[in-house]
Amino acid sequence: MKQVCPPTYGRVDALLELLSKSKSMHILLVLDRKNKPIRFSDLKKLVESSSTTISRRLKELETHGLVNRTQSDNSKNMYEYSLSEDAQSLKPILQSLYDWANERSY
């Protein structure tokens, strides 16, 4: 009999694919460390990447429910980004990945 993987395996693959994209983990870790909403320009400086890359990753992370985008109180044209509740639940895993990489020099 052919054994089929549970659908959760596919969702794990999709999550890992998203997190492995350029700067995705970096964005999530910065948002976690700051622990408050961050403007795009500030996030761009902290992540040290192009506007295009940051913008794409933020849209993807928002689409997948890991990042919240809210309008700034200071301006209608300014937005701030923060971790969603789903991303908050990933914090121990993200921290473990960070710690693992930090312990090894690549």
Query: 3 lies in a domain?
Result: no
Q: CA–CA distance from 35 to each of 10, 11, 13, 15, 18 (Å)? A: 30, 27, 27, 22, 22
The pLDDT > 70 percentage for the chain reads: 96
Query: 17 lies in a domain?
Result: no
Query: 16 lies in a domain?
Result: no
Q: Tokens 């849209």 belong to which residue? A: 59
| pLDDT at site 14 | 92
Query: 93 lies in a domain?
Result: yes
Query: 88 lies in a domain?
Result: yes
| pLDDT at site 106 | 65
CATH number of 74's domain:
1.10.10.10
| pLDDT at site 77 | 83
Query: 15 lies in a domain?
Result: no
Alpha-carbon span 36 to 100, nearest angstrom: 25
| pLDDT at site 73 | 81
| Confidence (pTM) | 0.87
Name the domain count of the chain.
1
Domain that holds residue 93: 23-102
Q: Tokens 């044209």 belong to which residue? A: 77
Query: 94 lies in a domain?
Result: yes
Alpha-carbon span 73 to 76, nearest angstrom: 8
* Residue ranges in the chain modelled with pLDDT below 50: none
| pLDDT at site 75 | 79
C-alpha angle with apex 16: 10 to 20, nearest 5 degrees? 150
Q: CA–CA distance from 16 to each of 9, 77, 93 (Å)? A: 11, 32, 12
| pLDDT at site 76 | 79
